Structure 1
Amino acid sequence: MKVTDVLVKCLENEGVEYIFGIVGSETLDLADSLSKSTKIQLINVRHEQGAAFMADVYGRTAKKTGVCLSTLGPGASNLLTGIASAQLDHSPVVALVGQAGIDRHHKESHQYVDLVKLFEPVTKWCTQIQASPTVPSAVRNAFRTAAMEKPGAAAIVLPENFSAQMIANEPLMVSPLPVTEPAMESVYAAKSLIEQHIKPLLVIGNGVVRQDAVFELQLLVEQLESPAFHSFMAKGVLPKDHPQNFYTFGFNENDLVLSGLQEADLLIVIGFDFVEKLPKDWNKKKIPVLHIDSLPAETNDYYPAKVELVGNIKQTLQLLNQTSLTKKPWEPTGNLKEVIKTAYHLNPESGNMTFTIKNMLHSIERLTNDDTIIISDVGAHKVSIARTYQPKKPNGLIISNGLASMGIAIPGAIGAKLAAPDAPVICITGDGGAMMNFSEIETAKRLGVSFIIIVLNDSVLKLEVQQMDKKFGESYGAAFTNPDFAKLADSFSIQGRRAKTLADFKAVLTEALERPNEIFLIDTVLEG
């Protein structure tokens, strides 16, 4: 078999269902090999950035490694933003990247750049094929590395001169990742540490979701009866009305949750990724830490880990729960939970029909079912969504909070829908983010996947305007004009509606939810 035939067999062996990408001259043999596969569908997209975003959200939602493809030069550099996003959000993704033949690497050559050097800073592991027989080991190592905690991106660079060479190699056996757990002496040390403190507080991160430890986390919270805060990417780990749920933290401004954190005498930090918020921003008092994560703590002045439980978070919490922890009930002063609920608009105001993003989010909560997946793009609305929207389950809200790149929502919705075809999917995007990858609507239409797109139409980069107004008293360089989004939707042969009032929005959203086999775009003009 030629090298690309073996490569496809290796990808099939890894359980790959979809490859998102654009083929080029350097990957024609790979496209030919994929055309013969009965297990893998090549999804040709409109931009490589969209391909990487699709692979990222598919990986998070399906809980398996997403795969994307590009050719060399501009194709590879277009892929880079989405790969960096997957890396910082700890989403398992493998990138297959075409490259010029080895004979062109030692001199200035058309479209040639050193892709290993380009991808190394934004991946866990990157390699270039140097000899054809190494393809199976490169593929196995890439998938294993991408999936290992903490997950992230891996890249394989494929020089075109190897593609058609004939080899006899077979895929390597896929073995499960090792599951580790802390020694019992560390578990009892953690129990002792908790017993020594009066006001422990739980800080919950996305590792709990990644490692399917939500049930075990909820048991721990119910044993302790102590307050619990969660990061943007861990939303949904506790029910909205759970008595210990003190909601989301990690905001740059008006982070009311932090006042409660300052009253704690021990922080039980579980699966938290520093990429979401550095400890110096939320543990200014340097409160002692019980660190529970898949990797050892990055200790510093603001993260004084007294005990570390390192290993699979699900297994670790099972062990800790078995020690019969003493209840540690307490509540932050000042009726903090009600203050947060009011400030974060967690309770809809009865009879208030103002068309704000908060009321829009409450309408989405009321009208959607438990399986609904919301994809948030990046911008001022991401902050509002992180404050106000309460998903009904973990991964019910996908927020990019590592690289936090605009443009993820529309391609991300495609990835989510392919991973969970029976779940309603809604992407919420600003007009800036929408226009970055609007072309992927054609990809969705061609694939026959359906979801709802909500465009927040205000003709500015609102977050930047807010920041500049605060700093300078005025804004500059953040305004633009928009097309008629409803007409633009019509040009893609999808449903497009404009909502100028909350009543309009509810009616259109209800219609869209009742027609689950269509793509609906709702152009919203909010009042504030």
Structure 2
Amino acid sequence: MNPESNQSMNETVAKLMLKQLETWGVKRIYGVVGDAIIGLMDEMAKQNTIQFIAVKHESVAAMMASAEAKLTGRLGVCLATMGPGLGNLLNGLGDAYLDKVPVLAITGQAPTQKIGTDYKQYIDQQELIKPLAEYTTLVTHQNSVTDLLVKAMNTSLIKGTVSHLSIPKDLFEMKSSAKIYREAKIIQGQTFIDKKELQNVVAVMKTAKKPMILAGVGAKNSVGDIEALAKVWGAGILVSLGAKGFFNDASENLLGGIGQGGNPHAKQLFQQSDVVLLIGNLWWPEGYVPQHARIIQIEIAKENIGKGIPVELGVVGAAEMIVPQLTESFRNDSATNDWMTQVYTAKEKWANENEQEGLQSSQPLHPSRIVRAIENNVHEDAIIALDTGDVTVWFNRNFRSKKQQIIFSGEWRTMGFGLPAALAAKLCYPEKQVVAVVGDGGIEMTLADLLTAVKYKLNIVVIIFNNHALQMERDKMIASGSNEMGVDLTNPDFIKMAEACFWKGYHIKDESELDHTLKKAFLNEGPTLISVETAPVIHPETKG
């Protein structure tokens, strides 16, 4: 990283921070204004390169930053005041931290002479955020600001994690002689793995009689290669929810998802597998996986090899570099026909059952029927922001993807993620159709930010599965024989609320309205909310 030779000296800390962020390609900052960051806001108002997205709650700001990082691979940035501002950011930062995406949080702090005192809102912010940030520090001198900012950004981008800076309120307006640093252009040193280094991997793979591939988010750039490998190796392909949109549901060897909401016939098949190849996947759903299989993992980050998974062999590198070489090693081999017959049988059986599930007619509407209507009407390249809850498992079970990109809260699994993620998606990709698929419990956590869509003219569609309950928790209470308590929701009239926030609103009670209403909603020029009366159906794989 080299400092810019023509950078002006003695600018304010706030101005230098914005210049440094701009130099590294930051296009927007999500946040809520507070007293401790007024100096930064003042400088932000004087420039038009970085857009400030003012949201209603800091948790939404952090979730939007996380969503941007997931969608683009670039640094997501959120901003808040000291104390409660940072406290509110933590939920969204937890999502970024556990899903391993690059997010930078900037928060104000007490004036330098008040740090450590009984000053209002003061808390040791480094201790508060420590469990959710790889790097966090307090900036104590105006001339160190860009050094620390670059260190934080580098940490987030290289490690795929959360970094955090606390800036004392008075520091923003101080003059600084700090330099602006250009972002280093990374050249991948190793673009090829010698076949000799993969000999042990190929040898284990060739012992397989019942091979399976489990692909995750890291498989995004190698879908065709994985399909080719599966064909010559004679393997079924399973995917995590994060990879669901990468593979076309019609792909020959694709069985679909695994875990709750996946292909229900894949579990038994997967448990029979004797060799499993994990590609860009860190998720190992207990109860669905083989106990005695030999496991090989391809992962871009060395530190992720074997995390919670009994891996025998780990290969560090990009899947798109490694998978074709593995495929080449099987060119003269023949796949195990008996095993592939089982794979195709399980695929076809679930395809037929899934088709029928999506045709179910009831009032209120069955969740599978709603998912099928979304599938039939959404654009092939849409971005679908999926909330956490009962809606997640029904969507995973019944949605047959084409080219859609699906974004969700993976490991943190926070409710309320759907709307913020959709807002960020539309800001990042204004040309794309963006749909949030949410439960009534999840959307109620972030309803205030319906107004954010209006403020920034974000044409998104929000579809609410309105079953008047925290349905997943209710299902688990029923399955375990527990008393039901705290799961009934007192819902507002979502349509009146949408209209009060200048959205177009539709309320669907009958199946005859479903497809027609979705078609109208997707043609609207402004933000649109659809509330669908949803039957409180217990998901088939619910466990107590």
Q: 2 CA distance for matches of 1:295 and 1:62? A: 18
CA positional deviation for 1:187: 2.0
Would you say the 8 A contact 2:470–2:487 is kept in 1? yes
Which among 206, 209, 230 is matched to residue 198 of structure 1?
209
The one-letter code sitting in structure 1 at the alignment partner of 2:469 is V
Q: 2 CA distance for matches of 1:478 and 1:469? A: 11
Which among 416, 437, 443 is matched to residue 446 of structure 2?
437
Q: 2 CA distance for matches of 1:301 and 1:16? A: 31
Which among 477, 481, 493 is matched to residue 486 of structure 2?
477
Alignment of 1:94-493 (within 5 A): 94-149=104-159, 151-177=160-186, 179=188, 180=190, 183-184=193-194, 185-209=196-220, 212-251=221-260, 255-274=264-283, 277=284, 280-296=286-302, 303-325=309-331, 326-329=333-336, 330-331=339-340, 333=342, 335-342=345-352, 345-346=354-355, 352=361, 355-393=365-403, 396-472=405-481, 474-493=483-502
Would you say the 8 A contact 1:263–1:332 is kept in 2? no
Farther off after superposition, 309-318 or 252-261: 252-261
Q: Secondary structure at the match of 1:450?
A: coil
Would you say the 8 A contact 2:466–2:534 is kept in 1? yes
The one-letter code sitting in structure 2 at the alignment partner of 1:305 is V
User: What count of residue pairs does the alignment treat as equivalent?
Assistant: 519
CA positional deviation for 1:386: 1.2
Q: Secondary structure at the match of 2:49?
A: coil
Q: 2 CA distance for matches of 1:215 and 1:152? A: 28
- Cα distance change of structure 1 residues 501 and 7 upon mapping to structure 2, 3 Å threshold: same
- Cα distance change of structure 1 residues 244 and 109 upon mapping to structure 2, 3 Å threshold: same
Farther off after superposition, 299-308 or 153-162: 299-308
Would you say the 8 A contact 1:20–1:42 is kept in 2? yes
Farther off after superposition, 75-84 or 158-167: 158-167
CA positional deviation for 1:489: 0.8
- Cα distance change of structure 1 residues 59 and 346 upon mapping to structure 2, 3 Å threshold: farther
CA RMSD, 1 decimal: 2.4
Would you say the 8 A contact 2:282–2:304 is kept in 1? no
Q: Secondary structure at the match of 2:268?
A: helix
Would you say the 8 A contact 1:233–1:399 is kept in 2? yes
Would you say the 8 A contact 2:408–2:417 is kept in 1? no
Unaligned 5+ runs, structure 2 = 1-10, 538-544
Q: Secondary structure at the match of 2:447?
A: coil
Q: 2 CA distance for matches of 1:57 and 1:427? A: 12
Farther off after superposition, 291-300 or 113-122: 291-300
CA positional deviation for 1:327: 4.6
- Cα distance change of structure 1 residues 416 and 327 upon mapping to structure 2, 3 Å threshold: farther
Q: Secondary structure at the match of 1:411?
A: helix
Alignment partner, residue 69 of structure 2? 59
Farther off after superposition, 117-126 or 289-298: 289-298
Alignment partner, residue 35 of structure 1? 45
Q: 2 CA distance for matches of 1:432 and 1:352? A: 24
Q: TM-score, normalised by structure 1?
A: 0.92
The one-letter code sitting in structure 1 at the alignment partner of 2:138 is Q
Q: 1 CA distance for matches of 2:491 and 2:526? A: 24
Q: 2 CA distance for matches of 1:299 and 1:213? A: 19
CA positional deviation for 1:322: 4.4
CA positional deviation for 1:324: 4.8
What are the superposed Cα offsets for residues 236-295 of structure 1, whole Å, 9 maximum, x if unpaired? Answer: 232101121011012289954221112211000111124xx45x4443513111111023
Would you say the 8 A contact 1:92–1:152 is kept in 2? yes
- Cα distance change of structure 1 residues 284 and 241 upon mapping to structure 2, 3 Å threshold: closer
- Cα distance change of structure 1 residues 171 and 332 upon mapping to structure 2, 3 Å threshold: farther
- Cα distance change of structure 1 residues 231 and 351 upon mapping to structure 2, 3 Å threshold: closer
Q: Secondary structure at the match of 2:272?
A: coil
Q: Secondary structure at the match of 1:443?
A: helix
Q: 2 CA distance for matches of 1:235 and 1:508? A: 26
What are the superposed Cα offsets for residues 8-32 of structure 1, whole Å, 9 maximum, x if unpaired? Answer: 0000011111101012111111111
* Residue 525 (structure 1) aligned with residue 533 (structure 2): yes
Q: Secondary structure at the match of 1:391?
A: coil
Q: Secondary structure at the match of 1:172?
A: coil
Q: Secondary structure at the match of 1:364?
A: helix
Matched-pair identity in %: 24
CA positional deviation for 1:456: 1.6
Q: 1 CA distance for matches of 2:306 and 2:358? A: 43
Would you say the 8 A contact 2:278–2:297 is kept in 1? yes
Q: 1 CA distance for matches of 2:362 and 2:489? A: 28
Q: Secondary structure at the match of 2:340?
A: coil
Q: 1 CA distance for matches of 2:261 and 2:463? A: 25
CA positional deviation for 1:55: 1.1
What are the superposed Cα offsets for residues 62-91 of structure 1, whole Å, 9 maximum, x if unpaired? Answer: 231111110101111000000001111222
The one-letter code sitting in structure 1 at the alignment partner of 2:232 is Q
The one-letter code sitting in structure 2 at the alignment partner of 1:378 is T
The one-letter code sitting in structure 1 at the alignment partner of 2:131 is P
CA positional deviation for 1:137: 2.3
Q: TM-score, normalised by structure 2?
A: 0.90
Q: 1 CA distance for matches of 2:200 and 2:211? A: 15
Q: 2 CA distance for matches of 1:195 and 1:5? A: 59
What are the superposed Cα offsets for residues 349-377 of structure 1, whole Å, 9 maximum, x if unpaired? Answer: 56857621211111111112211111111
- Cα distance change of structure 1 residues 476 and 348 upon mapping to structure 2, 3 Å threshold: closer
Farther off after superposition, 253-262 or 368-377: 253-262
* Residue 69 (structure 1) aligned with residue 76 (structure 2): no
The one-letter code sitting in structure 1 at the alignment partner of 2:530 is I
Alignment partner, residue 542 of structure 2? none
What are the superposed Cα offsets for residues 378-405 of structure 1, whole Å, 9 maximum, x if unpaired? Answer: 11111111111123226x1112121100
CA positional deviation for 1:317: 2.5
Q: 1 CA distance for matches of 2:512 and 2:25? A: 45
Would you say the 8 A contact 1:218–1:238 is kept in 2? no
Q: Secondary structure at the match of 1:250?
A: coil
Would you say the 8 A contact 2:408–2:418 is kept in 1? no
Would you say the 8 A contact 2:217–2:242 is kept in 1? yes
Q: 1 CA distance for matches of 2:290 and 2:222? A: 28
Q: Secondary structure at the match of 2:100?
A: coil
The one-letter code sitting in structure 2 at the alignment partner of 1:306 is E
Q: 1 CA distance for matches of 2:291 and 2:440? A: 40
CA positional deviation for 1:183: 4.2
Q: Secondary structure at the match of 2:507?
A: strand
Farther off after superposition, 350-359 or 91-100: 350-359
Q: 2 CA distance for matches of 1:133 and 1:45? A: 31
Q: Secondary structure at the match of 2:432?
A: coil
CA positional deviation for 1:135: 1.8
Q: 1 CA distance for matches of 2:121 and 2:440? A: 33
